[in-house]
Structure 1
Amino acid sequence: MKYYRPTDKKEDRLAFGVYPTVSLADARAKHEEAKKLMAQGIDPKAGKKGTASPSNITHNFEHTAREWHASNKRWSERHRQTVLRSLEQYIFPQIGKLDITTLRTSQLLAPIKAIDDEGKHNIAQRLQQRVTAIMRYAVQNDILETNPASDMAGTLSTVKSRHHPALPHEALPDFLSRLSAYRGRLLTKIAVELALLTFVRSSELRFARWQEIDLENAVWKIPATRQPIKGVRFSERGMKMKTDHLVPLSRQAVLLINALQELSGNCEVMFPSDHNSAKVMSENTVNKALRAMGYNTQTDVCGHGFRTMARGAMGESGLWSDDAIESVKPYRKKQRPCLVYPHIQASGRTAADDAVVGGLSGC
């Protein structure tokens, strides 16, 4: 049988045996099986090594993958479900029943490359990472001697980083004028202003609870996780880095929160929905307000872009070190080595907030 290998499109040949040792019926059956493997993006010649009955395979890929999945005790339940669901949807149907000890790089890559070719580049990248981790787990547990998934590196499309649009410093006076003229819901206006002043993420703002605010000490303590709100998706989200985080409140932020108390102080959440005070405002509320102010949230500015704007304004002021600036935007240590925010720096950040906002507003 002449065919083209799925991985490199090069011509190859596959023999099913010699007649009459192999009957025509057996040859036809093997030919159909090879066609099925090719339809799945698997090289039938590579697949020949994994032809043992699944019941006789001690370590098939799916079994080992589930062991690897169960071994990751530190994952959140949501992440555990996301990882397993991706494997069940994209990987197990293709190679799950194959003997992991005979799997070749081309077999591991085939289902992932098929997803990448569909334009689902982010999904493909994550699948590659997970399959590589599964095979590494197999090596660490003496199931394999080497990791064939390591050679998948560099085979997928490069994923371009998505940068959230943000206004340049010189455009901020006009932004503040438009915000002042905004005639939408007052609670929404305060949400936009507070996002600009505190640089927090959308979920950190939307799911904020009054019990997190300490106006006496001008501090907002965002917890690692929050008590879920029934019927509100992701309402348990706190800090993205899963650690408590202190957000010192500038004078302007304290004034806004005082005004907000008049609107929602009797609710558990700071930013309730206008339809149901037990729930929170929509994730699109801030961006919808920005569009009402005349901005394109795809190209001009979006809610998340306030974090970029704040960093730029503080950097241009020349008053703060890079470490102090980055401390207001916590990331994982492996991404930003100097971003741990010591609690003792609270007064320094508050001064930074006041200075930056004062400069923007002309106060």
Structure 2
Amino acid sequence: MPRLAVPLTESEIRALEPRATRYCVADGNGLVIEVMTTGTKIWRFRYTLNGKRQPLATIGDYRMISLRVARAKAQKYAEMVAQGTSPVATARRDRGAESKADVLREAADLYLSTAMSGKSAEYRRTTRRALDKDVLPAIGSKSINAVTPNDIVAICENIKSRGSPKMALHTRNVVKRLYEYLIGRQLATSNPADVVSARSIATFDSRTRVLSGEEIGTLFRSIDASSIRRPLKLALHLLVLTMVRKSDLVESRWVEFDLDNAVWTIPAARLNTERDQHVYLSRQAVAMLRELHQAKLRRNFVFPSVRGDDRPIARSTLNQAVKALGLEVEHFVLHDFRRTASTHLRAIAQQADALDPASISAQGVEDPAEIVEQRRMAQRWADFVDVQIAAGSKR
């Protein structure tokens, strides 16, 4: 029995490297991709007609035809072969009718059907909205390599004139990611959005950036749906729930936690202060820490390095994880979590007619009433974050 081909993925196809001689890799159902010595990748259809193996039928250039479209064509040709008809003439006509994707509108369609396939529904929706509303009506008919930085600036200025600087920046970032994809697929030679700086479009005071409830939900739904390692997802959640500095979290040790009493004591020596800092933990935070504790591979650190030695992950690891996700939250850095939590906590405290805490942690707190209140606020904050995450999932 012939061995069945394992279906390919877009990332596997992109990773195929040229060799001294051209070679084929099968996707299944007769579809193969041929890698030329130049690095060009061509979709082909392999079939047998009337008991004889036939020459490969060409479907088209991988740069211009997505995996999804290639599979659909292979299925059509397989059905023709099953009826005793050669697909060669049809494949030739299809190639003639196939857009060369050298126009931005068609390149954007290719981008949405391939690069977006593994993204969340919300990510795809916001990307498509930016392209359909502002980018493609303005420059969709232009050749990919004819788009200039001035075109991007004009689009952003038009959006800003509607009073939406954040949307202008988001749209510029969508175009930038689109061209990064096209360059990787050898359809574009340069990125016109690269030279348009974010600061020239919209500026934000980094000392006042606060994520809205909707942005908190968007952020964590994207993180949860991503492929980053589970411990890093939990670290990002804990960073917002505990309101501590990033370095305090990533360098934390298990000896600092009393999960039964839901308190984390950060030693004064690690903080370079005179007193220990007590961080009161919500039920959600405790559950996340228990999950990490059950799965721990090292003895000391909550977030150990994957390199095998007993040390924590680098401070930059969480930043790199967030950056790699391409999140739809503009001008956001991890330090904004602390300011965001503090701002929302004040609003929550006012609604609950409670104290107005600056945080859910304190140094040397001894007043039992204040400790109780801080525990309450920690739980209210965690519940608020859960509500924001759930809100978008119901849309």
Task: Give the shorter-chain TM-score range.
Answer: 0.3 to 0.5
- TM-score (normalizing by structure 1): 0.44
- TM-score (normalizing by structure 2): 0.41
Q: Report which of the two has the higher share of strand.
A: 2
